[in-house]
Amino acid sequence: MMTSLRSTPSQTVGPFLHIGLIRDDGPFAVPAETPGAVWIRGRVLDGAGTAIDDAMVETWQVDPGSDESSCGRRGFARSDTRSGSYGIYTVVPGPVGEGEQAPHLDMSVFARGLLHRVVTRVYFPEHAERHPSDPVLATVPPERRDTLIAVRDGDGYLFDVRLQGDRETVFFDV
C-alpha cells in the first residue's frame, strides 16, 4: 500500500543566497583588460523603491560577434547587492542567432521574498533600430519596453530592476 506524503513547504530564495556564491571574479564576464568593456550597474528595488541589499544578480550573454560559443570569454557574471547596488563588467553583446534578436544580456535576480528567481533582459539604447524586430521584445507592450533598456552613463550603463510597483521591470516566464 502506498503512503501519502505531505508536500514540502515553499521557501524563498533569500536572504542568504549570495553567501559562498560570489567569487572575487564573479562580476567579471570578461577579463579586466578587455578592450571596449563596460560596467553595467544598478539597484534591485522593492515595491517601495528601496534598494535591496541582499539580492544576487546573474547575467549571461553571447560575445560581440554573436558567436554563442563565447570565444574564450566567460559570458557569465554574478554580483551581489551588499553595497546597495550590483555591478557587472562585460562587453556589449552582439545580436543573437541570425541577428533576429537585438543585442541584450539575459539577467536572473534572486532576492528575499521571491519563491523563484525572476528573469529579465537588458537591451542597449544604441541598438534601438533593432528593438522593433526583436521577437522577444515584440511580446512586451510598447509602454513597458523601456523597463528593459539600460541607460548610458559614463563608463557604462545603469539598469535598475524594480521587483514590483510603479515601473516594475518586465519579467519573463522561462
Helix (H, G, I), strand (E, B) or coil at 144: helix
Give the residue numbers spanning the domain of 108: 38-162
Q: Tens digit of pLDDT for each residue in 54-90?
A: 999 999 998 776 555 544 445 899 999 999 999 999 9
20: alpha, beta or left, given left = phi > 0 and alpha = psi -120 to 50? left
Residue 154 forms part of a structural domain: yes
pTM given for the model? 0.86
User: What pLDDT shows up at residue 71?
Assistant: 47
Q: What total number of domains does the chain contain?
A: 1
User: What pLDDT shows up at residue 112?
Assistant: 86
User: What pLDDT shows up at residue 1?
Assistant: 65
Pick out the chain residues at pLDDT < 70.
1, 9-21, 65-74
Contact 77, 63 (CB under 8 A): no
Contact 60, 104 (CB under 8 A): no
Write the DSSP symbol of residue 21.
T
Q: What whole-number distance in Å separates Cα of residue 127 and Cα of residue 61?
A: 16
User: What pLDDT shows up at residue 26?
Assistant: 83
Residue 20 forms part of a structural domain: no
Residue 11 forms part of a structural domain: no
Residue 134 forms part of a structural domain: yes
Residue 7 forms part of a structural domain: no
Residue 26 forms part of a structural domain: no
Look up the CATH number of the domain holding residue 153.
2.60.130.10
Residue 93 forms part of a structural domain: yes
- Which residue has 521557501 as its cell numbers? 11
Residue 168 forms part of a structural domain: no
